[in-house]
Amino acid sequence: MAVESTAAFDLFHNTLLRNRVRVLLIRSAVAVMSEAGDVPFHIPRVKYAIKVLNDSEEEARKMWLAVVATAAAIPSNPTDTQIETVVNGLINALAGAFNPVV
C-alpha cells in the first residue's frame, strides 16, 4: 500500500527516525561485509556497504528517501528491528543488485 504524500512529508521531517535509520544502515553495512560470499548479489552488496561505511551521511540520506517512499512498512512508533527490516529490504535496490528482466 502506497503512503500518502502528506504522511510521507511528515515522516521526511522526523529527525529522530532519520538518525535511527542512519545508525541501522551502518549496522547492516557491517553485517553485509561479513556475510558469506555465496549470498545472492554479494559483490554489489559489499560495494554498497563500503560506500555506506566511507560516507554514511550521503548514503543514509539516500536510504532515508527510499524509506520515506516505502513508509507504509514502518509503524508509527517503530522498534529498531522494524526499521532494520525495512533498511535491509532496501539494500539490494540501493546496491543496484537485482535480476534484470530479459
pLDDT single digits (tens) 9-50: 777 788 898 999 999 999 999 999 999 999 989 999 999 999
pLDDT per position as a tens digit, 65-85? 898 888 766 777 889 998 899
User: What is the pTM (predicted TM-score) of this model?
Assistant: 0.84
What DSSP character marks residue 59?
H
Report yes or no on 101 lying in a domain: no
Report yes or no on 84 lying in a domain: yes
The burial of 102, by beta-carbon neighbours within 10 Å (0-12 exposed, 13-18 middle, 19 or more buried), is given as exposed
For residue 35, the enclosing domain spans: 5-95
Total number of domains constituting the chain: 1
Spatial CB neighbours of 28, under 8 Å, sequence gap ≥ 6 = 49, 52, 84, 87, 88, 91
Report yes or no on 102 lying in a domain: no
